[in-house]
Amino acid sequence: MDLINNMEDIFIRNIIESLSVGIVVINNGGEIFYANDFALTTLGYVKEKFLARGWGEIFSFDVGENAEFNQIIIDVIMGEKLNMHREVDYLKPDGKKLRLSVATSLLKDKGDVAGIVVLIDDITEVYELRRLEICMLEEQQRLQQDLFEGVNKLAMSVAHVIRNPIASIGGFARLILKKAPVDWPYRGYLSSIDEGIQRLEKIVSSVKDYTDINKATIRRTSLSGLIATAIRNVEVITKKLGFSATWDVSLQCGDDVDVDPVLLLGAVEEILYNSVESFVSSAGKMRIKAHVGNDSQNPCEELYLEIEDNGSGISEKEMPFIFDPFFTTKTSNVGVGLLKVKKIVAAHGGSIYVDSKKGTGTKVTIRLPILPKT
């Protein structure tokens, strides 16, 4: 029997010694009773200078650098924080810096506490990789922001610089057209110039509208009021196009929301313009639904605004380009509406999804991280 116990003991010791995780056992008196090879190598000590000594005695010389590491064990010894799992920095006696994952638990013998077990894992490599990844992501975001701001400034300058020449060319073309005799053979050319200039004026003004969208100024806003205003404004265009729309509006959330009312109204209108411009029959159907987030843990932190039409829909081929600047499938539009919506939603820290089926209709969902007030 003793032989078997002895074998078992050797077997367990071997396994513990060969583990690639450090194990340190501290007895009830606060003395280090056991440490496997991995723990000794990781912490930078030899067995003789580590065992049978108090934890505080060993680590007191470098409390400054290893304060956080020491505290974990002190907390456990004091019985304050048991079963802890923390990541901390550790400075080895040879000056090498490590990142350790430290877990603690009680060692129990027949229900009585016999000591504390400390599991130590060297996660320096993973930690460094994680830090590098975060740095790269931050750098990527900074570059993207720089690029975005650069493009924004360029667009703004181009729009500003070409605005005046366009206005004078257009003005003179229209003046000559007005003064020229009806049978003047070059009238057709001038009309083409005028049409081209009008299109350029529209593009410049759309680019200006886009670049003018800056930070959102958040104010308490009535959502139902904002939607009603958008519908009223869009109805003017709907009538001009010879269409009529039936509106189904349901707000399953509080009416007062914290948003930039001017920007959000502009975004809702752009989405509605697209819907009415996509109507295939003279009587289109619109459904606007607002509800708060479906995340059960934070049910009130997100507002979802869904705008659905039964218009022409977007083909799979066109879908990847709908947010691209100047992408349009319409003859006299510029193709910046959805780009503006995206910028407005981003200024609120939200996101936008478009779901569409050619021939069936389109649903645009805006998610805004706000807290609707009931």
Ligand X SMILES: Nc1ncnc2c1ncn2[C@@H]1O[C@H](COP(=O)(O)OP(=O)(O)OP(=O)(O)O)[C@@H](O)[C@H]1O
Q: Where does this chain touch Mg ion (CB under 5 A) — which range of 17-25, 28-36, 69-77, 332-340?
A: 332-340
> What is the length of the chain?
374
In the bound state with Mg ion, the residue whose beta carbon lies nearer, of 254 and 266, is 266
Q: Calculate ∠ Cα 330-305-293, nearest 5°.
A: 145
Amino acid symbol at 179: K
**Member of 337, 350, 361, 372 binding Mg ion (CB under 5 A):** 337
Q: Where does this chain touch Mg ion (CB under 5 A) — which range of 56-64, 118-126, 235-243, 337-345?
A: 337-345
Q: Where does this chain touch Mg ion (CB under 5 A) — which range of 113-121, 133-141, 168-176, 270-278?
A: 270-278
Is the CB of residue 350 less than 8 Å from the CB of residue 239? no
Q: Where does this chain touch ligand X (CB under 6 A) — which range of 33-41, 131-139, 256-264, 320-328?
A: 320-328
Q: How far is the CB of 332 from ligand X (least distance, A)?
A: 8
Grouping H, G, I as helix, E, B as strand and the rest as coil, residue 225 is: helix
Grouping H, G, I as helix, E, B as strand and the rest as coil, residue 249 is: strand
* Phi, psi angles (nearest 5°) of residue 68: -70, -40
Give yes or no for residue 36 binding ligand X (CB under 6 A). Answer: no
Give yes or no for residue 66 binding Mg ion (CB under 5 A). Answer: no
Give yes or no for residue 330 binding ligand X (CB under 6 A). Answer: yes
Is the CB of residue 245 less than 8 Å from the CB of residue 363? no
Residue with tokens 């009529």: 244
Tokens representing 374 are: 């009931």
> Strand pairing of 244-252 and 283-292?
parallel
**Member of 274, 275, 310, 362 binding Mg ion (CB under 5 A):** 274
- The DSSP string of 23-41 is EEEEETTSBEEEE-HHHHH
Give yes or no for residue 247 binding ligand X (CB under 6 A). Answer: no
In the bound state with ligand X, the residue whose beta carbon lies nearer, of 229 and 329, is 329
DSSP state of 61: G
Which of ligand X, Mg ion, none does residue 118 bind to, with CB < 5 to 8 Å depending on kind?
Answer: none
> Strand pairing of 351-357 and 361-368?
antiparallel
CA–CA dist 361, 158 (Å, integer): 36
Which of Mg ion, ligand X, none does residue 327 bind to, with CB < 5 to 8 Å depending on kind?
Answer: ligand X
Q: Where does this chain touch ligand X (CB under 6 A) — which range of 105-113, 140-148, 286-294, 335-343?
A: 335-343
Q: Which 3-state string (H, E, C) describes 82-103?
A: CCCEEEEEEECCCCCEEEEEEE
> What is the pattern of x (binds ligand X, CB under 6 A) and - over residues 196-225?
----------x-------------------
Give yes or no for residue 104 binding ligand X (CB under 6 A). Answer: no
In the bound state with ligand X, the residue whose beta carbon lies nearer, of 207 and 368, is 207
Which spans of this chain sit near ligand X (rule: CB under 6 A)?
206, 270, 274-275, 278, 309, 311-314, 318, 322, 327-330, 333-339, 362
